[in-house]
């Protein structure tokens, strides 16, 4: 089934979609933050007939709740309510909800229809797009998952007004990645703007277009090309996992930006990226985040996590690297020592150069 993506500043099309489909029940999966700040915005556009079909499934917010126990609890509720394939699951939230909800929907009764309504910048331009669904397992990020697309995605960019600046910055991490791996113009557009003066409607549209063009060439990551979307993620996911159960966790976007600094340095070290381009990347990323230092006692944990990365094969660690801003390469083997050296470089960055 071909999915449609609606980008607008209201949910009228969503209401029309639900009227036409005539689902018996509508499960609305969301977390406590989305319920508090976004649910009323959604309900304004839904008719009473639609609202009367909605059953709220609320979970606690946070990446540490994207786990198998949460899935089991939701599957039990679905079974008790006798939810069948004549019903719909709506994943209304950020990346945790769309990842989790897509996974739950894809496995329940071998697949029940679901749609995504992303509420964060990160989810609008990345997590809800491309069909990757999954959960964290054994303290590893997205270790268990499946690729299946929602039947539709509804994006209301005005929901960004409900977000703290930290969440906007998190989404920017993935947008900067799109610029680095694929589109130099997008990179320049972001780093030359103040975060408060960005045209979000255009940037969201452009980011989605880039991701879809990459996914279309390799939807199930069988050819390898889709791996370029993982730039910054090999080390970034390891850093994110390290901080996930910390008292002060960092956002996905922050972790990916740190990972992109490390992997840009590796690109330079391996001779793919020139020093001038590396400095531009470093300066651009440092506009938006502060460096989080990684204590040497955690280096082994970082390596162990990276050894479980999904891009690896034949017991070798493979990276996506940059040749220049806007052009990437993949399946580049990198030794453990170089990975550690890149983290040491990260730890020694003190200011914009």
Instruction: Identify the domain boundary among 130, 162, 194.
Output: 162
| Total tally of structural domains belonging to the chain | 2
- Rounded to an integer, what distance in angstroms lies between the CA atom of residue 297 and that of residue 27? 44
Q: Are residues 33 and 83 in the same domain?
A: yes
Q: Are residues 70 and 143 in the same domain?
A: yes
The long-range contacts involving 127-131, CB below 8 angstroms and separated by at least 24 positions, are: 127/94, 127/95, 127/98, 127/99, 128/91, 128/95, 128/98, 128/153, 128/155, 129/5, 129/153, 129/208, 129/211, 129/212, 129/215, 130/211, 130/212, 130/215, 130/229, 131/102, 131/215, 131/219
Q: Are residues 158 and 175 in the same domain?
A: no
CATH number at 301 reads 1.20.1090.10
- Smallest Cα–Cα separation from 23: which of 51, 56, 62, 64? 51
Q: Is 352 part of any domain?
A: no
- Smallest Cα–Cα separation from 143: which of 94, 106, 92, 99? 99
Q: Are residues 195 and 343 in the same domain?
A: yes
Q: Are residues 176 and 97 in the same domain?
A: no
CATH number at 56 reads 3.40.50.1970
- The verdict on pTM exceeding 0.85 is yes
pLDDT tens digit at each of 353 positions of the chain: 456 888 887 899 999 999 999 999 999 999 999 999 999 999 999 999 999 999 999 999 999 999 999 999 999 999 999 999 999 999 999 999 999 999 999 999 999 999 999 999 999 999 999 999 999 999 888 999 999 999 999 999 889 988 999 999 999 999 999 999 999 999 999 999 888 889 999 999 999 999 999 999 999 989 999 999 999 999 999 999 999 877 778 999 999 999 999 999 999 999 999 999 999 999 999 999 999 999 999 999 999 999 999 889 989 999 999 999 999 999 999 999 999 999 999 999 975 54
Q: Is 353 part of any domain?
A: no
- Rounded to an integer, what distance in angstroms lies between the CA atom of residue 42 and that of residue 10? 8
Domain span at residue 91? 4-162
Q: Is 100 part of any domain?
A: yes
Q: Are residues 245 and 275 in the same domain?
A: yes
Q: Are residues 106 and 193 in the same domain?
A: no
């Amino acid at each position: 089934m071909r999915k449609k993506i609606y980008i607008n500043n209201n949910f009228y099309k969503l209401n029309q979609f639900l009227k036409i489909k005539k689902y018996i029940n509508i499960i609305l999966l969301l977390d406590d933050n989305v319920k508090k700040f976004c649910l009323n915005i959604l309900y304004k556009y839904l008719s009473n007939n639609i609202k009367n079909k909605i059953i709220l499934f609320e979970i606690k917010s946070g990446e540490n709740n994207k786990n198998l126990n949460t899935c089991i609890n939701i599957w039990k509720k679905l079974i008790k309510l006798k939810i069948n394939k004549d019903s719909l699951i709506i994943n209304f939230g950020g990346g945790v909800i769309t990842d989790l909800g897509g996974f739950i929907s894809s496995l329940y009764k071998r697949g029940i229809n679901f749609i995504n309504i992303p509420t964060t910048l990160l989810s609008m331009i990345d997590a809800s797009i491309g069909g990757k669904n999954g959960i964290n397992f054994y303290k590893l990020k997205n270790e268990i998952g499946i690729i299946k697309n929602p039947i539709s995605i509804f994006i209301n960019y005005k929901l960004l007004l409900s977000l703290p600046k930290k969440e906007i910055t998190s989404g920017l991490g993935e947008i900067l990645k799109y610029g680095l791996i694929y589109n130099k113009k997008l990179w320049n557009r972001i780093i030359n703007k103040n975060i408060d003066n960005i045209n979000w409607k255009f940037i969201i549209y452009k980011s989605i277009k880039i991701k879809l063009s990459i996914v279309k060439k390799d939807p199930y990551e069988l050819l390898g090309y889709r791996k370029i979307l993982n730039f910054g993620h090999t080390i970034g996911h390891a850093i994110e996992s390290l901080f996930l159960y910390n008292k002060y966790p960092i956002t996905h976007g922050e972790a990916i930006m740190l990972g992109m600094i490390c992997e840009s340095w590796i690109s330079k070290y391996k001779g793919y990226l020139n020093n001038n381009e590396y400095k531009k990347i470093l300066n651009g990323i440092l506009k938006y985040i502060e460096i989080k230092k990684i204590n040497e006692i955690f280096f082994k944990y970082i390596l162990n996590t990276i050894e479980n990365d999904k891009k690896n094969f034949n017991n070798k660690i493979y990276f996506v690297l940059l040749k220049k801003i806007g052009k990437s390469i993949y399946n580049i083997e990198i030794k453990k020592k170089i990975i550690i050296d890149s983290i040491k470089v990260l730890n020694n960055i003190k200011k914009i150069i």
